[in-house]
C-alpha cells in the first residue's frame, strides 16, 4: 500500500442496494486484519452506516465483546442557499475530514442513493469504488439503457456517466485511477432467465465502460438482524451467536467477495472463519 490512506467508496444513485451493509462488512473485515480504518457517512441525513456504527458501539459498551470499531464521522450537506457557496462549503468540510484521516490505512465512505455534489466529490476520491446492484432490470437502468426486446446495450446511463466523469476528475487532480467494481446483490441460487440475461448484459457493459463484475450477497434476513445489534458476519464467533445454514452461506459469500475485491492488504489476509 502507498503511504496515503486507501479509499474505498460504496456508491450507487439508487437506494436499497446494500451499500451500508457492504460498507460495514468491509470496515469490519479490515479492522480484523489490524488495519487502522476510518469511516465516513456522507449520507448523514439518512445515516444508515452511522446508525450501524452507533448500534455497534452500544453493544460493545453493554457486553464488552471483542468488537473493533472504526473512527467514524458523518457529513450533512450544506444548507447555504447559493449553490456555489454550498458546494464550496461541502468541498471544504469533506477535504478537512479526509485530511483528518491521513494517518489511517483505509477510509471507507458510504454515499447516498441520489445525486449530489458531495457524492460526486467522494466518488472522485475512490481508489476502489464498489457499486452494489440488485439483480433486477430496474437497478440495471442506473447503469445502462437497453432495448426492451433484445436487451442490446444502447448507451451508458446516468450513474455510469457520472462515474466516468469522476474518473477523469481523479486523473486530473492527482493522476490516480479508480478500480470500479459492480457487485450483484440479492442473487437467487436458482436458475432464471432474468438472472442469465442480467449477467449477459453486465458482462458486455463491463468491457464497454470498464468495471469488474463480482457476486455479492443473496437475499438474507440475517443482514437486517445484524444491523440492529451493530454486528457483522465476522463477529458471530466472538458474540456466541448460534450459526444457522443462512449464516454459513452468507459468510461464504463474504469470503468470496473480499477475495474478488482484491484490496491492497499489507499482510496476508486470514480466511473468514
| 160's grid cell | 455510469
15-42 pLDDT, tens digit per residue, is 888 899 999 999 999 999 999 999 999 9
Q: What domains lie within the chain, and their CATH numbers?
A: 6-261 (3.40.50.300)
Closest residue by Cα to residue 119 from 43, 14, 44: 43
| 268's grid cell | 496476508
Report the 3 state secondary structure along the chain. Answer: CCCCCEEEEECCCCCCCCHHHHHHHHHHHHHCCCCCEEEEECCCCCCHHHHHHHHHHHHHHHHCCCCCCCEEEECCCCCCCCHHHHHHHHHHHHHHHHHHCCCCCEEEEECCCCCCHHHHHHHHCCCEEEEEEECCHHHHCCCEEECCCCCCEEEECHHHHHHHHHHHHHHHHHCCCCEEEEEEECCCCCCCHHHHHHHHHHHHHHHHHCCEEEECCCCCCHHHHHHHHCCCHHHCCCCCCCCCHHHHHHHHHHHHHHHHHCCCCCCCCCCCC
pLDDT of residue 219: 65
Closest residue by Cα to residue 39 from 17, 60, 68: 68
Low-confidence ranges of the chain (pLDDT < 50): 1, 190, 267-270
pLDDT of residue 1: 47
Q: Are 214 and 257 in contact (CB under 8 A)?
A: yes
pLDDT of residue 130: 96
101-125 pLDDT, tens digit per residue, is 999 999 999 999 999 999 999 999 9
Amino acid at each position: 500500500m502507498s503511504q496515503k490512506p486507501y479509499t474505498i467508496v460504496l456508491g450507487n444513485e439508487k437506494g436499497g442496494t446494500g451499500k451500508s451493509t457492504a460498507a460495514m462488512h468491509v470496515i469490519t473485515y479490515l479492522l480484523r486484519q489490524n488495519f487502522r480504518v476510518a469511516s465516513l457517512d456522507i449520507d448523514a441525513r439518512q445515516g444508515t452506516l452511522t446508525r450501524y456504527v452507533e448500534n455497534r458501539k452500544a453493544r460493545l459498551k453493554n457486553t464488552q465483546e471483542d468488537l473493533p470499531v472504526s473512527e467514524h464521522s458523518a457529513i450533512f450537506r450544506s444548507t447555504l442557499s447559493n449553490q456555489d457557496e454550498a458546494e464550496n462549503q461541502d468541498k471544504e468540510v469533506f477535504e478537512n475530514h479526509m485530511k483528518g484521516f491521513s494517518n489511517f490505512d483505509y477510509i471507507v465512505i458510504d454515499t447516498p442513493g441520489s445525486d449530489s455534489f458531495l457524492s460526486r466529490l467522494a466518488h472522485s476520491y475512490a481508489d476502489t469504488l464498489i457499486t452494489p446492484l440488485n439483480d433486477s432490470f430496474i437497478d440495471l437502468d442506473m447503469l445502462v439503457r437497453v432495448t426492451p426486446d433484445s436487451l442490446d446495450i444502447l448507451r451508458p446511463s446516468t450513474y455510469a456517466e457520472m462515474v466516468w466523469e469522476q474518473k477523469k476528475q481523479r486523473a486530473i487532480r492527482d493522476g490516480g485511477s479508480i478500480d470500479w467494481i459492480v457487485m450483484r446483490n440479492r442473487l437467487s441460487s436458482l436458475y432464471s432467465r432474468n438472472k442469465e440475461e442480467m449477467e449477459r448484459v453486465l458482462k458486455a457493459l463491463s468491457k464497454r465502460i470498464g468495471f469488474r463484475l463480482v457476486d455479492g450477497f443473496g437475499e438474507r434476513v440475517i443482514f437486517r438482524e445484524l444491523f440492529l445489534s451493530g454486528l457483522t458476519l465476522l463477529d458471530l464467533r466472538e458474540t456466541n451467536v448460534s450459526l444457522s445454514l443462512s449464516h454459513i452461506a452468507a459468510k461464504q459469500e463474504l469470503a468470496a467477495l473480499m477475495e474478488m475485491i482484491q484490496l491492497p492488504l499489507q499482510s496476508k489476509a486470514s480466511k473468514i472463519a
